Amino acid sequence: MQPLSNTIISAIPTLLVSRHLYSIIQAQTSVSAGSITKIHQQHCPKVAVSLGGHPRKLTTTNITFAKCGSYTRKIKTTVHAAKVLSTVNNQHITPQTVRNVLKATRIITVSKQKKPLLTQKHRRARLEFAERHLE
């Protein structure tokens, strides 16, 4: 491996400061990503480098809105919250996204009850029916 020239070593920090991606710096200087990282650590360690990824779909305001809506019972389900946030943001937001965000903020979700509970009146009526039709 050949040592890098001073012009390349001085060019890489300027490209990093101007927020160029590693792939672009590699294409322009033909230096490996590992070498770029070493130069970055030695010459300009305080310059932040993009960690990649994509922007979040829900902002902190949206998350607060969903949390407050669930606390005040104005929003009963994550499906309803997703519909409301979709109209507010003008982009499609799935109920699973809302669930994930609420779970990350440590809000406990409760599954909707499938059927109503039996009351004492219903239990008595079922018992009487069963006794009548036992034979």
Map out the domains of the chain as residue ranges. 6-43, 60-104
Q: Render the burial of 91-128: b for 16+ CB within 10 Å, e for the rest.
A: eebeeebbbebbeeeeeeeeeeeeeeeeeeeeeeeeee
Gyration radius (Cα) of the chain, Å: 30
pLDDT at 123: 93
Alpha carbon separation from 28 to 18, 25, 49, 100, 116 (Å, rounded): 14, 5, 18, 40, 67
SS3 88: helix
- Alpha-carbon distance of 38 to 60, in angstroms, equals 35
Question: Of 3, 4, 29, which is closest to residue 16 (Cα–Cα)?
Answer: 29
pLDDT at 31: 87
pLDDT at 1: 57
Question: Of 10, 19, 9, 25, which is closest to residue 51 (Cα–Cα)?
Answer: 19
pLDDT at 50: 65
Q: Find out whether 97 and 59 touch, Cβ atoms under 8 Å.
A: no
Residue pLDDT tens, the chain, 135 long: 578 888 888 888 888 888 788 888 888 888 888 888 888 888 888 877 666 677 788 888 988 888 888 778 788 888 999 999 999 889 999 999 998 988 888 887 667 778 778 889 999 999 999 999 987
- Alpha-carbon distance of 13 to 45, in angstroms, equals 10
